[in-house]
Amino acid sequence: MANASLLTGKRIGLLTASASRLGGGVFEAVAIQAELIRAQGGNPVVLALADRFSAEDRPRFGDSEVIHVPVSGPVQIGYAPALVKALLAARLDCLHLHGIWMYPSHAARRWREATGRASVISPHGMLDRWITARGRWKKVLARRGYERAGWRAASAFHALTPREADDIARESGRRDSLVIPNAGPPVAAPVRGPRAPHLLFLSRIHPKKNLAPLIAAWREVAGAEGIPDDARLTIAGWGEPADVTVLQELLRGSPPSLRFIGPCFGEDKARELAAARFVVLPSLSEGLPMTLLEAWAAGTPTLQSAECNLPAGLPAGAALDCGMDQPSIKAALVQALTMPDDRWLAMAQAAQGLASGTFSGKRVAQQWGEAYARLIAEPGALP
């Protein structure tokens, strides 16, 4: 890889609330970020709040150094008294905060002020209007207590998309965001033939994922004239117990073609992605969902809402817009399940084309290598 030595000997801290499956897409993004840093010759150091899956999911980070810090008090706040000390002891050349609205934001600012070294903030969609409207008072207190100070102190913000850069500017007043997409996983073997009419929802179980209209639309589609008899929709994911309970209530009385299989990781996830004809994500709010990048790498086209912030999939032929309401989702399901095999195969190939191009690890690693190197050289300079 060109310029693979950009970060040689540099220790890049990746600070996040959860370095486990509890972090959802941010967890996957951080794991891939660690790989990108290694590809540029750097040494990633992952620092996270300890949770019940920390040890089990540690192997996802390979040879990276991983430090888990215990939490005191409510997990929603993530107060970790030892976190600042752990950051200072890690001897970092640059600190990259993934996610906001919790104690790690405060710790990142403390580290930046103590060391004078470069820090970057990736909100991962957490400044989207839908998100900022939820838990409003908690966010008001967080802004006043530590977030705004941290936003001012950081060397740079990172946005996954130009749209997120606008959200960052609206909330922080900073219009200098680095815009770099998430990188997807390596591309699987090329898709050679059609797949069965099996659709897959694979994500966190959360209100923003908009599962209710998807389930209602499937009930109208399943068994309808022209729909293959073996069509099915699989819902895979984890979530807070209350959100999973809501999902299970929504699924009562559903046809056998609709099933919920719970959490899906590792080889199980890879198998589900490789078997699906389409991945469906009708979200109300996203940063840049790793699920869609994983689908494209597997040669699986997607049905996605505009809020997924991956518009490149539409003109490339890798995705269809499914909207966010029941009628538009239903129309997209019908289109996906009745699509001729030759057109589907073209979409699958287009998906892998995007995964090996714009969203490839090689391309994104180069962008990050240059960004980190510049910020380390001039930690007070804005990009």
Hey, which of 127-131, 175-179, 272-276 has the most confident mean pLDDT?
272-276
Instruction: Name the 3-class secondary structure at 205.
Output: strand
CB 25 within 8 A of CB 295: no
**pLDDT more than 70, % of the chain:** 98
In this structure, which topology does domain 11-182+360-377 adopt according to CATH?
A: Rossmann fold (3.40.50)
Judged against a pLDDT cut of 50, whether residue 2 lies above it is answered with no
Q: What is the pLDDT of residues 340-373, one digit of tens each?
A: 999 999 999 999 999 999 899 889 999 999 999 9
The pTM of this model reads 0.82
**How far is the C-alpha of 297 from the C-alpha of 302, rounded, in Å?**
11
* CATH annotation of 198-356: 3.40.50.2000
CA 369 to chain centre: 20
pLDDT band at 67 (very low <50, low <70, confident <90, very high): very high
Nearest by Cα to 112 from 146, 138, 137, 144: 146
The helix (run of H) or strand (run of E) holding residue 137 is: helix 136-142
363: buried, middle or exposed (CB in 10 Å: 19+, 13-18, 0-12)? middle
Give me the chain's average pLDDT, please: 92
Judged against a pLDDT cut of 60, whether residue 383 lies above it is answered with no
Judged against a pLDDT cut of 70, whether residue 311 lies above it is answered with yes
Q: What residue ranges of the chain are covered by domains with CATH 3.40.50.2000?
A: 11-182+360-377, 198-356
Query: For position 25, what pLDDT does the model report?
Result: 85
Judged against a pLDDT cut of 90, whether residue 118 lies above it is answered with yes
Query: For position 4, what pLDDT does the model report?
Result: 59
**How far is the C-alpha of 282 from the C-alpha of 254, rounded, in Å?**
19
What's the CA angle centered on 64, arms 61 and 67, to 5 degrees?
90
Judged against a pLDDT cut of 60, whether residue 121 lies above it is answered with yes
Nearest by Cα to 90 from 63, 108, 71, 72: 108
pLDDT band at 378 (very low <50, low <70, confident <90, very high): confident
Average pLDDT over residues 293-298: 96
Weakest mean pLDDT among 124-128, 136-140, 190-194: 136-140
pLDDT band at 117 (very low <50, low <70, confident <90, very high): very high
Average pLDDT over residues 180-199: 92
Judged against a pLDDT cut of 90, whether residue 129 lies above it is answered with no
Query: For position 8, what pLDDT does the model report?
Result: 92
Average pLDDT over residues 86-103: 96
Query: For position 1, what pLDDT does the model report?
Result: 41
Hey, which of 22-26, 133-137, 322-326 has the most confident mean pLDDT?
322-326
